[in-house]
């Protein structure tokens, strides 16, 4: 076996010694520029083993130096493997926002809609319903260009999860570990959930589309919307009239309380221990109508001073609800007109007698004209459908509803999903415990700034009749419940009949 350097025949010690053992069995000589080696001879075997060890050390040293150089560059915030959509790299190795107005507007739209809907899945469906295209990177050999395509759910989710859009440089968000599975070595890539586990995190490194606090809030919301994580998260907002769905947690076993609807107008919360194991009774089970009314009253009391501010924002939102789609269509039309002019210039520059090229360019020009006509029709339809301004009657109705927040809460047009989002904005979690015939509910609110009315600092007592069900029994008890609100916690302590 001839080679320039015998030790280069294998990349690691295991393969090298396997080769030496095989050559010694079949009687093969190893020959390089320095000599002839017989693996059967112990001296030659020892020399070849040393050569293999030195070669493996050199390769490991080169690999380690390269990785350390990458880490040093990452600590300076200068290591970029690939530019995400919405950013470009400058000549001095900095990143800036894409100068394309349409690209920036599309990314801003995704973040605004996520703040409005509170769900990446709903943002994805909304983009599809409005026929709004999103930018994507298309590779053509070594070059890359932007293409506009129908949005995919994974693309929307990746955009919301990427911290680079918050003006942050990160490195080491994932880690690769080696495992032995089925007798083979396997590399497994794991992601660090918390930002403090990332290897490098540099804030305000570049201009972002959102700030860091908004990004952290979005991450927390998306984590809670992941129903696959089980009882460790609140879960996404589901349809149904149960206001506290996903917020209640059993104080005995730590599991989330599930929601049952025994009748069209009744709600029941119970621990899912009985669902998992029929041999055990539920830790806690009680009727949900009274608890929903009690928590809703506390939330409305906190939000009453914010009614006027919410009304002003609602008026602005009603005036701009059609502008977002119209702006995107206008940007698409502007891009289509550019493509038409570009195709026309290419067609005019070609020799008319060269029909092989002229026919292709003519077809490209016609396709661009058809796309332009389609977008012009869509823009005209949106302009015709869009009202010029809100009427004074509509504005006055919104302002009147702001003065009476409970009436707006009970309005038939208010969706259950909106009520649940409001409650989840104020309340993080509610822990429920049971002791005989009594049930205690402890409420964990977000921050004191969300309750400007001072409900967190004063002590109030409420009496709430609520049918409760004793664990392990089938008899419904009518128990008057007493609620106390002090220092950010609300306890519902029903008295025994």
How far is Cα 145 from Cα 388, in angstroms, rounded to an integer? 38
Q: What is the pLDDT of residue 456?
A: 37
Q: What is the pLDDT of residue 214?
A: 92
Of residues 441 and 357, the one with the higher pLDDT is: 357
For 280-293, the pLDDT digits (tens) are: 666 777 777 878 88
Q: What is the pLDDT of residue 313?
A: 61
User: Are the CB atoms for 23 and 2 separated by under 8 Å?
Assistant: no
How many other β-carbons are positioned within 10 Å of the β-carbon of residue 321? 11
How many other β-carbons are positioned within 10 Å of the β-carbon of residue 340? 20
Q: What is the pLDDT of residue 108?
A: 92
Q: What is the pLDDT of residue 404?
A: 67
For 446-474, the pLDDT digits (tens) are: 543 334 343 332 223 223 333 333 333 33
How far is Cα 188 from Cα 213, in angstroms, rounded to an integer? 31
Percent of the chain with pLDDT over 70: 75
Query: What is the mean pLDDT of the segment spanning 356-376?
Result: 88
Q: What is the pLDDT of residue 492?
A: 39
For 253-268, the pLDDT digits (tens) are: 777 888 888 887 788 8
Return the CATH number of 95-225, one of 2.60.40, 3.90.1750, 1.10.287, 3.30.1050. Answer: 3.90.1750
How far is Cα 367 from Cα 278, in angstroms, rounded to an integer? 65
pTM over 0.85: no
For 190-222, the pLDDT digits (tens) are: 776 788 888 889 998 889 999 999 999 898 888
Q: What is the pLDDT of residue 307?
A: 58
Distances (CA, A) of 152 to 133, 136, 245, 328: 10, 10, 29, 17
Structure tokens at 38: 């017989």
For 475-490, the pLDDT digits (tens) are: 232 323 333 333 333 3
Does the pLDDT at position 50 exceed 50?
yes
Q: What is the pLDDT of residue 440?
A: 66
Q: Beta strands of 349-394 (E only): which ranges?
A: none
Structure tokens at 368: 């661009």
How far is Cα 22 from Cα 372, in angstroms, rounded to an integer? 69
Query: What is the mean pLDDT of the segment spanning 88-102?
Result: 86
Q: What is the pLDDT of residue 275?
A: 59
Structure tokens at 221: 């919301």
For 309-349, the pLDDT digits (tens) are: 665 565 566 555 557 777 888 888 888 898 899 888 888 88
Does the pLDDT at position 494 exceed 60?
no
Q: What is the pLDDT of residue 395?
A: 64
Of residues 318 and 306, the one with the higher pLDDT is: 306
Q: Which residues contact 472 (CB under 8 A, 6 or more apart)?
A: 281, 282
Q: What is the pLDDT of residue 318?
A: 55
Does the pLDDT at position 113 exceed 80?
yes
Distances (CA, A) of 160 to 107, 121, 202, 424: 10, 11, 18, 20
Does the pLDDT at position 116 exceed 60?
yes
How far is Cα 97 from Cα 306, in angstroms, rounded to an integer? 35
Q: What is the pLDDT of residue 245?
A: 80
Of residues 401 and 68, the one with the higher pLDDT is: 68
Does the pLDDT at position 107 exceed 90?
yes
Structure tokens at 276: 């998992």
Q: What is the pLDDT of residue 476?
A: 30
Q: What is the pLDDT of residue 445?
A: 58
Query: What is the mean pLDDT of the segment spanning 375-379?
Result: 87
User: Are the CB atoms for 49 and 20 separated by under 8 Å?
Assistant: yes
Least trusted range by pLDDT, from 169-173, 371-375, 404-408: 404-408
Query: Where residue 362 falls among pLDDT bands split at 50, 70, 90?
Result: confident
Structure tokens at 474: 């089938």
Query: What is the mean pLDDT of the segment spanning 423-443?
Result: 72
Does the pLDDT at position 47 exceed 80?
yes
Q: What is the pLDDT of residue 123?
A: 92
Q: What is the pLDDT of residue 441?
A: 64
């Amino acid at each position: 076996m001839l080679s320039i350097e015998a030790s280069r025949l294998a990349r690691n010690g295991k393969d090298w010694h396997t080769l030496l053992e095989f050559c010694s069995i079949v009687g093969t000589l190893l020959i390089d520029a320095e000599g002839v080696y017989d693996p059967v001879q112990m001296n030659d075997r020892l020399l070849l083993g040393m050569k293999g060890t030195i070669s493996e050390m050199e390769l490991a040293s080169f690999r380690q130096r390269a990785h350390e150089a990458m880490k040093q560059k990452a600590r300076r915030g200068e290591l970029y493997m690939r530019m995400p959509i919405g950013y470009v790299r400058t000549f001095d190795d900095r990143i800036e926002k894409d100068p394309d107005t349409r690209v920036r507007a599309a990314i801003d739209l995704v973040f605004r809609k996520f703040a409005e809907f509170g769900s990446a899945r709903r943002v994805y469906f909304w983009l599809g319903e409005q026929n709004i295209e999103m930018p994507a990177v298309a590779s053509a050999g070594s070059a890359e260009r932007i293409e506009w395509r129908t949005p995919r759910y994974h693309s929307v989710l990746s955009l919301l999860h990427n911290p680079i859009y918050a003006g942050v440089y990160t490195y080491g968000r994932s880690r690769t570990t080696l495992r032995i599975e089925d007798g083979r070595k396997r590399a497994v890539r794991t992601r660090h959930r918390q930002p403090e586990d990332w290897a490098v995190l540099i804030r305000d490194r570049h201009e972002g589309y959102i700030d860091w606090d908004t990004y952290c809030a979005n991450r927390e919301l998306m984590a809670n919307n992941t129903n696959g994580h089980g009882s460790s998260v609140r879960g996404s907002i589901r349809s149904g009239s149960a206001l506290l769905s996903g917020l209640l947690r059993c104080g005995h076993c730590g599991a989330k309380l599930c929601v049952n609807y025994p009748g069209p107008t009744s709600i029941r919360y119970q621990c899912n221990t009985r669902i998992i194991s029929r041999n055990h009774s539920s830790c806690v089970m009680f009727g949900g109508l009274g608890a929903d009314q009690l928590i809703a009253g506390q939330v409305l009391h906190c939000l009453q001073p914010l009614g006027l501010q919410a009304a002003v924002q609602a008026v602005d939102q009603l005036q701009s609800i059609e502008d977002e789609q119209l702006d995107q269509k206008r940007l698409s039309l502007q891009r289509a007109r550019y493509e038409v002019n570009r195709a026309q210039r290419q067609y005019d520059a070609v020799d008319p007698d060269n029909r092989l090229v002229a026919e292709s360019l003519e077809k490209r020009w016609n396709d661009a004209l058809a796309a332009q006509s389609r977008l012009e029709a869509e823009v005209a339809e949106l302009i015709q459908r869009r009202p010029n301004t809100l009427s004074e009657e509509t504005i006055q109705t919104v302002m009147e509803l702001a003065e009476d927040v409970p009436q707006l809460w009970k309005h038939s047009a208010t969706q259950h999903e909106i009520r649940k989002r409001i409650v989840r904005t104020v309340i993080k979690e509610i822990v429920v415990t049971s002791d005989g015939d009594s049930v205690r509910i402890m409420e964990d609110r977000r921050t004191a700034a969300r309750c400007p009315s001072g409900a967190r600092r004063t002590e109030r007592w409420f009496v709430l009749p609520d049918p409760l069900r004793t664990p392990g029994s089938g008899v419904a008890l009518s128990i008057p419940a007493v609620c106390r609100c002090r220092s950010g916690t609300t306890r519902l302590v029903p008295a025994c009949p």
